Amino acid sequence: MTATSPLPLKAKDFATDQEVRWCPGCGDYAILKAVQKVLADLGVSRHNTVFVSGIGCSSRFPYYMETFGFHSIHGRAPAIASGVKLTNPELDVWVVTGDGDGLSIGGNHMLHVLRRNVDLQILLFNNEIYGLTKGQASPTSRRGTRSPSTPFGSIDPALVPALFALGAGARFVARSIDTAQAHLAETLKRAHAHRGASFVEIFQNCLVFNDAVFEGFTARDTAADTQLLLEHGQPLLFGAERNRGLRLQHNSLTLEIVTVGENGVTEADVLVHDQTNRTLAALLAGLPQPAFPMALGVLYDHPATTYHEELQAQVARESEVGPPDLESAILKSNTWTVA
Amino acid sequence: MSPPAVAGSKVRRDARDAIVIRFSGDSGDGMQLTGTQFTMEAALSGSDLSTFPDYPAEIRAPAGTTFGVSSFQIHFGSTDIMTPGDELDVLVAMNPAALTVNLQDVRVGGLVVVDTSGFTPRNLAKAGFESNPLESDLLNPYQVMPLDIATLTAAAVADFGLSSKEALRSRNMWALGLMLWMYGRGKQATVDWLQKKFAKAPAIAQANIAALNAGHAYGETAELPEHLSAYSVTRADLPPGVYRTVNGADALAFGLIAGARSVGIKQLFFGSYPITPASTLLHALANLRPLGVVTFQAEDEIAAICSAIGASFAGALGVTSSSGPGLALKTEAMGLAVSTELPLVIVNSQRAGPSTGMPTKAEQSDLFQAMYGRNGEAPVIVLAAATPADCFEVAMEAVRLAVGHMTPVILLSDGYLASAAEPWLVPDLSGLPSGSVQYAQPTEGFHPFKRDPKSLARVWPTPGTPGVEHRIGGLEKSYDTGNISYDPDNHAKMTKARAEKVARVADDIPLQEVDVGLDRGRLLLVGWGSTYGPIHRAVLQSREDEGLDVSFIHLRYLNPFPKNLADLLRGFDRILVPEQNTGQLTAILRSTYLVDAQVLAKVTGKPFMVSEIRSAIRATLEGGQPS
């Protein structure tokens, strides 16, 4: 947060004149609002900001951002964004995708953009359904989801996006909720501050095809018991009394819920969140639902050299020994002269 | 060589002016290296040349089998060499399989050098011989030089303490040494190359050099039949200047960089995915990273082209490259580049299809794919390279047109061009244009689809420039604002604008020239791509030897066609189109110009022979159909 620095642009300065065409009540509106606010808070310029998307409801996002934008083809936003970033590393590049776009048709690109650590903010709007094609089950749909393409219930196990991202080698993995404006804004700022690929899963409610699918942990009245809000260096506590916590079972390498003050449990037994611990991040990402609270916030933030930094360093090294120009590259081969 | 602008260079067919040698053996025998080194030595000795590497798709096919045979053919001499040669003057066969696969290509009276050590009962059986052909009548039409190269090599390298297996690996250098002696070529470049290649294993380097020297010395000291030394090849009469050999992949790499430079684009971005035979371009450009080329080996063909599109959106020139199957995967993204009207160069090194087909064999069967292979109405510019050296110019041209007209350009090469080599007069790069690309600046009424009234090319606004922020995508956009539009009339207008933009490229390319012969007459041959050499040679010979009324034009621009092509086609009674497919350009010419073009098809994965085209010319002029 840069509260003391001047904010040249307001959130509305990041809105375009285009009519927003999401369904009334769609979670995407809340995310759009949060992103516009975050950009204003960050004080970034419009001309150095690029939003790249694929296909799907979420991928309409760039049309509503008064920045540079590229609404591309299904699943390919990470590849297009990689080309943008490697061409001009000064740009602040955001990818907007969904569970179908980013994890089904574009799963391969998501895997590789994360492993390469291209310096992008990747916002994956997860509504556990294909919205734009009218409601088919997606890779994150829970098993048994009834939809036009799975009338008797889906039989595919659901993918956990954060686990996928960690498995792919992501160095920043976070989660938030469309309507949790303050938490979402803070999470996006963290993603922006991270150098390298930042993967943010945003639980987004699809009012039309999958309404209330996240109600189990998003409902305000029960949120204290169903949400584990992660903070680096703080114990993994939740509950209205903040007396419930997660303890590591050493013999099985699993987490269990304990209550501080009961059965001899003290706060010292509760695990402390370490955002640089990938193993812990994976345990938190995979907490079984709904038996455990949903881990929200920054699960993992452990920067490493980014792809364009590696590229620039290599080119700088090789430029010292390689041919200085095209002429000498062509003449590097054996030549002969005809008089 | 680049297609000459004028016809009529004098043909001399004295066999001693040019020689065709084919080195052939197992895919593990090092035949490609042997051929490449012979090529280098021939070039350094002042020969004009053309090569044809032909190898199996398998990395190490089972030893001794016919499908594991790897060959390298070189045609070199003092004349204007334009093809790898129809018939072999010399076949070097390292085993029975190489003999049986290649013998039919040796001219009667030609020389067959065989390594007898490879003629074991087991290898003979694998090659399908019931008895040893060296002891039969099979080789009677040829001059045969049976040599126990393995034993000769083992003796030459005995002092270097190598295992017999390692020693045997130098057989190819022994054979190379003999051939270099036989045709009076030097061997110093090969010695230097071996020392560099095996710098970390000096014993191996020394053994290979010893084998090379031994093969060379054998020629000098052994009492070879007198007629063999008659093949002395004089220097080619090439224009003055500095030369190197170049294959199509290297020439494309240099041409893309030179092209970007000449239109003032600072960064070339090359997104690619490994595929035979296109990977050599990725390798060539990856080595040129120090020159500021960003090469990006993507996770798949789709990401390869998409990263290139992203790069073009950001102001670089995006380039992607593949072969037919990979092009198929890039199809949707090509449509995106058409719709967003971004510059993009797509190189297709064609290979025999359909599907995986024959990965290492060349074909020209992706012309329809290049022209029509996208959903919706999605026209692009299509160019084709004629020779390895021509790849340089065509790559430059592809860059110029892509940037100048804000459109994808498909550049068709093929597996033959990618790996075949020829002498290349190194271009004077200081003479290249030094344009400066115009990125859009904020102006009154700016929108991303504002067009140049003449070319219809849209402006190119790039991220990082204040005041030109905009959104583009694959949805239809308004002609007047660039915003999304589903308006029916607007879609019709935009469809027409995209087509018209590509059609108007015809105003920006040279008129078609006649390569050989006159601009009207009885028969016109129309070619495109790597068939240039054999067609050119065949038409020249038909005119000069037989006095036939035949002309030749070779198309570099396949979409749009040059503006005078219709007139040229209508100046001839008959039109014959040799192509390595079943008639794709033929069909396009027929449908575009309503002319009775006939195809001369060849889909064997092998280049046309001059003699095949000459026969077809005779048959066509006599009124029959080409076979």
**Are A200 and A94 in contact, with CB atoms under 8 Å apart?**
no
Closest chain B residue to A87 measured between Cα atoms? Answer: B311
Is A328 a member of any domain? no
Q: What pLDDT sits at residue B11? A: 24
Which three-class secondary structure state does DSSP give residue B388? coil
For helices B390-405 and B248-262, angle between their N-to-C axes, nearest 10 degrees = 40
User: What does the pLDDT look like over B361-384, one tens digit per residue?
Assistant: 999 999 999 999 999 999 999 999
Residue B435: predicted pLDDT: 87
C-alpha span between B210 and B176 (Å, rounded): 12
Q: Which of B40, B306, B316 sits opposite A79 (nearest CB)?
A: B306
How far apart CA B586 and CA B69 sit, in angstroms, is: 34
CB contact under 8 A, B314 and A311: no
Give the mean pLDDT of A310-333: 92
Residue A42 lies in a domain: yes
| B336-347 pLDDT per residue, tens | 999 999 999 999
CA terminus-to-terminus distance, chain B = 29
Whole-number percent of chain A with pLDDT over 90: 93
The single-letter DSSP state of residue A102 is I
Instruction: Measure the CA–CA gap between B111 and B89, rounded to whole angstroms.
Output: 6
pLDDT at A1: 35
Taking the C-alpha atoms of residue B82 and residue B50, their distance in angstroms, rounded to an integer, is 6
Nearest-CA neighbor of B551 among B561, B539, B562, B541? Answer: B539
The pLDDT value given to residue B4 = 34
d(CA A218, CA A179): 9
Torsion of CA B73, B78, B82, B86, to 10 degrees: -50
Answer yes or no: are the C-beta atoms of A52 and A70 closer than 8 Å.
Answer: yes
Contact between B288 and B251 under an 8 Å Cβ cutoff? The reply is no
Residues A95 and A243 placed together within one structural domain of the fold: no
How confident is the model at residue B230, as a pLDDT? 41
Q: How confident is the model at residue B56 (pLDDT cuts 50, 70, 90)?
A: confident
Task: Give the dihedral sign, CA A28/A31/A33/A36.
Answer: negative
In a domain, A5, yes or no: no
Over its C-alpha atoms, chain A yields an Rg (Å, rounded) of 23
Identify whether A49 is part of a domain: yes
Token pair of A12, please? Answer: 């509305």
Task: Give a three-class secondary structure readout of B150-181.
Answer: HHHHHHHCHHHCCCHHHHHCCHHHHHHHHHHH
Task: Assess if residue A145 is contained within a domain.
Answer: yes
Whether residue A326 and residue B471 make contact (CB cut-off 8 A), yes or no, is no
pLDDT at B16: 60
- Give me the pLDDT at residue A5, please: 37
Chain A residues touching residue B474 (CB < 8 angstroms): 71-73
Partner residue opposite A67 with nearest CB, options B44, B309, B469: B469
Structure tokens at B420: 């075949």
Q: Does residue A132 form part of some domain?
A: yes
Side by side, the strands of the sheet bearing A335-338 are A335-338, B241-247, B421-425
Residue B624, pLDDT score: 61
Bridge partners of residue A177, in order along the sequence: A203
The stretches of chain A forming alpha helices (DSSP H) are 27-42, 77-87, 99-100, 107-116, 161-168, 181-193, 215-218, 223-226, 278-285, 307-321, 326-330
Cβ contact A239:A224 at 8 Å:
yes
> What is the nearest CA distance from A224 to chain B, expressed in angstroms?
40
Q: What value does the mean pLDDT of chain A take?
A: 95
- For residues B215-243, give the mean pLDDT: 76
Q: Using the beta-carbon criterion (under 8 Å), do A335 and B271 form an inter-chain contact?
A: no
Q: State the average pLDDT over residues B534-552.
A: 97
Q: How many domains does chain A have?
A: 2
**B627: Cβ contacts below 8 Å, ≥ 6 apart:** B615, B616, B619
pLDDT at B219: 85
- Give the neighbor-by-neighbor strand order of the sheet with B106-115: B48-54, B69-77, B18-26, B88-93, B106-115, B143-147
What phi and psi, each to the nearest 5 degrees, are found at residue A199? Answer: -105, 120
What is the ipTM score, two decimals? Answer: 0.97
Does the structure show a pLDDT above 50 at B13? no
Size of interface A-B (CB pairs under 8 A): 198
Q: Quick one: pLDDT at residue B8?
A: 33
Contacts of A49 in chain B (CB under 8 A): 463
d(CA B524, CA B516): 10
**CA gap B422, B43 in Å, rounded:** 8
Domain identity same for A245 and A289: no
Mutation pick from B44, B293, B299, B300 vs chain A, by most beta carbons of A within 10 Å, is B299
Token output for B444: 């009154």
Determine the average pLDDT of the residues in B475-479. 97
Beta-carbon contacts of A185 under 8 Å, excluding residues fewer than 6 positions away, are A34, A37, A38, A41
- A152-182 pLDDT tens trace: 999 999 999 999 999 999 999 999 999 999 9
pLDDT grade, residue B45 (50/70/90)? confident
CA distances in angstroms from B302 to B331, B337, B450, listed in the order given: 8, 13, 29
Query: What DSSP string describes B17-86?
Result: GEEEEEEEEETTS-HHHHHHHHHHHHHHTT-EEEEEEE--SSSSPPTT-GGGEEEEEEEEESS---SS-S
Task: Return the SS3 of A194.
Answer: coil
- Confidence band for B225, pLDDT divided at 50, 70 and 90: low
Looking at residue B238, its pLDDT comes to 84
Q: Does B273 touch chain A (CB under 8 A)?
A: no
Which of B76, B313, B392, B484 should be substituted to probe chain A, the one whose Cβ sees the most A Cβ atoms within 10 Å? Answer: B313
Chain A residues within 8 A of B299 when measuring between CB atoms: 79, 108-109, 111-112
Confidence of residue B5 (pLDDT cuts 50, 70, 90): very low
State residue B567's pLDDT score.
Answer: 98
List the one residue out of B74, B60, B57 whose CA is nearest residue B23. Answer: B74
Q: What is the pLDDT of residue B186?
A: 86
Phi/psi region, residue B467 (left: phi>0; alpha: psi -120 to 50; beta: rest), is left
Strands (E), chain A: 49-53, 68-71, 92-98, 121-126, 172-177, 198-203, 227-229, 237-238, 244-249, 254-259, 294-301, 335-338
Please name the member of A68, A315, A326 whose beta carbon is closest to the beta carbon of B429.
Answer: A326
Residue A23's domain comprises 11-234+273-308
| The two structure tokens encoding residue A95 | 């990818």
The pLDDT of B221-243, averaged and rounded, is: 72
Kindly identify which residue of chain A lies nearest to residue B334, measuring between CA atoms.
A73
Does A192 share its domain with A248?
no
DSSP string, B492-540: HHHHHHHHHHHHGGGGGSPPPPPSBS-SSEEEEEEEEGGGHHHHHHHHH
Decide if B233 contacts B77 (C-beta within 8 A): yes
Contacts of A312 (CB under 8 A, 6+ apart): A89
Is the pLDDT reported for residue A259 higher than 90?
yes
Residue A265's pLDDT band (boundaries 50, 70, 90)? very high
Whether omega for the bond prior to residue B146 falls within 30 degrees of 0, making it cis, is: no
HSE-CB at B244 with a 13 A cutoff on CA atoms is 16
CA gap B551, B621 in Å, rounded? 12
What is this structure's pTM? Answer: 0.93
Q: Which of B291, B441, B465, B486 to probe by mutation at the A interface, max A CB count within 10 Å?
A: B291
Query: With an 8 Å Cβ cutoff, are A63 and B471 in contact?
Result: yes
pLDDT tops 80 at residue B6: no
Q: Which two tokens stand for residue A102?
A: 């980013």
Contact between chains at A76 and B244 (C-beta distance less than 8 A) = no
Structure confidence by residue, pLDDT tens digits, A88-118: 999 999 999 999 999 999 999 999 999 999 9
The Cα of B289 is separated from the nearest Cα of chain A by a number of Å equal to 6
Q: Within 13 Å, how many C-alpha atoms sit on residue B98's CB side? A: 30
Confirm if A23 and A207 have CB atoms less than 8 A apart: yes
Tell me: pLDDT of B590 over 70. Answer: yes
Mean pLDDT across A15-36: 96
Residue A335 falls within a domain, yes or no? no
- In this prediction, residues B93-99 reach a mean pLDDT of 96
Residues B40/B46, Cβ–Cβ less than 8 Å: no
A242 and A102 assigned to the same domain:
no
Given a cut of 60, is residue B3 above it in pLDDT? no
**A71 and A52 belong to one structural domain:** yes
Q: Which residue of A has its CA nearest to B250?
A: A330
**With 90 as the cut, is the pLDDT of residue B1 above it?**
no
The answer to whether the Cβ–Cβ distance between B291 and A45 falls below 8 Å is: no
Q: Where are the alpha helices (DSSP H) in B222-323?
A: 248-262, 279-286, 301-313
In this structure, what CATH number is given to the domain that contains residue A115?
3.40.50.970
Q: How far is B188 from chain A (nearest CA, A)?
A: 11
- Residue B129 C-beta-side C-alpha neighbours within 13 Å: 25
Same domain for A207 and A257: no
B471, B475, B477: which to substitute to probe chain A, counting the most A Cβ within 10 Å?
B471
Unique residue bearing structure tokens 């309409």: A60
Which of A316-330, B222-236, B346-360, B585-599 shows the lowest mean pLDDT across its residues? Answer: B222-236
Contacts for A3 with CB less than 8 Å, ≥ 6 apart: none
Q: Are residues A59 and A160 in the same domain?
A: yes
Helices B301-313, B324-340: inter-axial angle, 10-degree rounding: 30
User: B309: nearest CA in chain A?
Assistant: A80
Q: Which pLDDT tens digit goes with each residue over A229-254?
A: 999 999 999 999 999 999 999 999 99
Domain shared by A127 and A241, yes or no: no
Least confident of B14-28, B470-484, B565-579: B14-28
Does residue B9 carry a pLDDT above 70?
Answer: no
Report d(CA B191, CA B199) in Å as an integer: 12
More confident residue, A294 or A4: A294
Shared domain check, A196 and A91: yes
d(C-alpha A170, C-alpha A173), whole Å:
7
Contact B310 A325 (CB under 8 A): no
- The answer to whether residues A183 and A268 belong to one domain is no
Contact residues, chain A, for B257 at CB < 8 Å: 326
A161 and A265 in a common domain: no
Q: Which residue of A has its CA nearest to B40?
A: A334
Q: Give the pLDDT confidence of A174-187 residue by residue, as tens digits.
A: 999 999 999 999 99
Q: Identify the burial level of B267 via C-beta atoms within 10 angstroms of its C-beta, where 0-12 means exposed, 13-18 middle and 19 or more buried.
A: middle
Q: Helix B171-182 and helix B31-44: axis angle, to 10°?
A: 30
The reported pLDDT for the residue numbered A174 is 98
DSSP at B380: -
Mean pLDDT of A291-309: 98
A252: in domain:
yes
Same domain, A264 and A295: no
Residues listed for chain A: 339
Across chain B, what does the average pLDDT equal? 92
Q: What's the whole-number mean pLDDT along residues B63-82? A: 92
B258 in reach of chain A (CB within 8 A): yes
- B229 pLDDT higher than 60: no
- Chain B hits for A45, CB-CB cut-off 8 Å, are 466
The pair of structure tokens assigned to A285 is 């990402």
Give me the amino acid identity at B544: E
pLDDT tens readout for residues A63-85 = 999 999 999 999 999 999 999 99
DSSP B561-624: PPTTHHHHHHTEEEEEEEESSSSHHHHHHHHHH---EEEEE--SSSPPPHHHHHHHHHHHHTTS
